[in-house]
A and B are shown apart, each in its own frame.
Chain A
Amino acid sequence: MAIRAEEFVGIAPRPRRPFTLGEWVDRGTVFSWLMMAPPILFILAFVGYPFCYGIFLSLENRPVAQPGTFIGLGNFIKEAHDPVFWQVVRNTFVYTGVATLLKMVGGLGLALAMNQDFKFKNIIRALLLLPFIVPTVLSTVAFMWMLDPAFSVINRVLIGFGWPKPGPSWLGSPILAMCSIIAINTWRGLPFYGITLLAGLQTVPVELYEAATIDGASGWQRFRYVTLPILQPIILIVTLFSVIFTFADFQLVYVLTHGGPQNATALFATYAFDIAMGSGQLGLGAAVALAMLPALALLIVAITLYLRKKS
């Protein structure tokens, strides 16, 4: 067991010396706060201040480039009477729920597939991560072309197999558009789940599987009673992280559907963007964005409590 420097110095009685600036700066607490001051000030200025200012904005009627007037909870009341807002709430929950479930199950499948012995494993793992690496906007543009109303490659293949022309309208019908954005979000997020769960799988001791096999456990039973319990904490934390970023997704929907058709794919972020940047109502837009806060805050608290328990 090593003795920490502070404790070591503490034991030896030290003669009192005159105060010097250098020594003061070298004290643990002083050094820490001096070191952390620039990043903390930066975060306060560019996260803390905008956050509080956003709350203030949400209480104002504030057209762009004009002074605002305080209207209390007026924006939130307007929101509560806006049918589109409630549709956005529903969309966001459906999108987040279904995409998360697909990513969780698919990611587990990906991790199990990758946890076997085969050739070119490193190259294949690198290739499988590509969807997660490439800028979302650019891969979404590729999907936009694959789902194009006139030249969709998917439809041409379907028609080749005898599907009646012109094939499904992937981005034109409300339900199919929602399915499309969920599928693309899953495509992009799957490698994150897969690789993280794979790292978890590799920590499962082989002895446990051997013991279970000797005890007569089937493949499914080994998975259910050995693998899953060990993976559970990792699945939990990965899911919480991914839920937050799926819930607040913007890029994919903005690029692919702009929230349409008939707001069927509008999420909190895209709707807030439309109101604030499109119609120039900063106050109402801020209020829509803030409506994400209760659900997000719940998730953030869950994660931080969990991390704290772990450390």
Chain B
Amino acid sequence: MITGYGPIQRTVRVWLPVLFFLFVALLPFYWMAITSVKPNSELYSMRANPLLVHAPTLKHYVDLLTTTSFMVWTWNTMVVAVISTAISLVLGIMLAYPLARINFPGAGLLAIAVASVYLVPQPLLFIPLADVINRLNLGNTLTSVILTYPTMLVPFCAWLLLGYFKTVPIELEEAARIDGATRFQTMRRIFLPLCTPGFISAGIFAFTLAQNEFLYALIFLTKSSVRTVPVGVISELIKGDVFYWGQLMAAALLGSIPVAIIYSFFVEHYVAGLTSGAVKG
């Protein structure tokens, strides 16, 4: 880039906006962290400087893990997110592979239909789905959300993978076909092993979406033993009295950590998935 600025001016121009965005993005996390280690006497004192902590304590974390069902909710969230992500990846592959590779009549139209199903928001479906889950007698079971999360995750995975599959060269599959492999063998032995990066992108994305889901979990799961973290936190940790903010912030921080860890390992895949929809779409 051609710029005619001195080093100081350049530093200001570059870093000032970056630091501003960083500050805005991270302030709530700083506030979560600092609140979660403050003793109640500091939390609800109007004299202490609210931005600092003087006598840090882990009491809120200990209380959260021993007196509430937070561990159970975390386990439930993991189970639900992992299983529904796995189901969605498998079904997404089954949908995306023929659409990306085989020229059958209606393929183009079907691809568009998949994209539009992904865009149907949950609030449009939750009332009839609640009735369906009731009639299937699945209320208050993890199965209810494991079955309903893929309604948004399958079209999403299929759409993301469709874009990815099209970037994989077709020659290897053609060679396998000429050597007499069936379509299924070609897909399983030759094609799918080539697509691991695509599966990681779609998987991470689906996993974060499943962790984030709230509406279906709120409606279908009303017993503490089957709740997920977001629903548990909202329905059970917010109580009438005022002295719960430390615990609540500890829960918000701990609940964010699994996603943040997985994300930090695969941030490149995540960004690739994020941008593929819009840029390559």
A residues neighboring B (CB under 8 Å): 2-6, 8, 22, 25-26, 28-29, 31-33, 35-36, 38-40, 42-43, 46-47, 49-51, 53-54, 57, 109-110, 112-114, 116-118, 122, 124-131, 133-139, 141-143, 145-146, 148, 150-151, 153, 156-157, 187, 190-192, 194-196, 199-200, 203, 206, 209-210, 213, 234, 237-238, 241, 244-245, 247-248, 250-251, 254-255, 268-269, 272-273, 276-277, 282, 285-286, 289-290, 292-293, 296, 299-300, 303-304, 307-308, 310-311
Contact = CB atoms under 8 A, between A and B. Distances in A.
Contacts, number: 306
A36 to B, nearest CB: 5
A26 B214 contact: no
A187 B154 CA distance: 28
Given A22-B182, A46-B151, A114-B18, A137 B234 contact: yes
Contact of A5 (B177, B208, B211): B177
Contacts of A114: 18
B242 interface: yes
B14 interface: yes
Question: Which of B15, B21, B94, B182 is the most central at the interface, judged by chain A CB atoms within 10 Å of its CB?
Answer: B21
Interface string B100-114: 001111011011100
A130 B260 contact: yes
A133 B121 contact: no
List the 6 closest A-B pairs by CB distance, nearest first. Answer: A248-B121, A32-B98, A269-B123, A137-B230, A113-B17, A199-B275
Contact of A138 (B111, B131, B230): B230
Given A141-B233, A191-B25, A153 B51 contact: yes
B174 interface: yes
Contacts of B234: 137, 141, 255
Interface of B: 1-2, 13-15, 17-18, 21-22, 24-26, 28-29, 31-32, 35, 43-44, 46, 50-51, 91-92, 94-95, 97-99, 102-105, 107-108, 110-112, 115-117, 119-132, 147-148, 150-151, 154-155, 158, 170-171, 173-174, 177-178, 182-184, 208, 211-212, 214-215, 218-219, 229-230, 233-234, 238, 242, 245, 248-249, 251-252, 255-256, 259-260, 263-264, 267, 270-271, 274-275, 277-279, 281
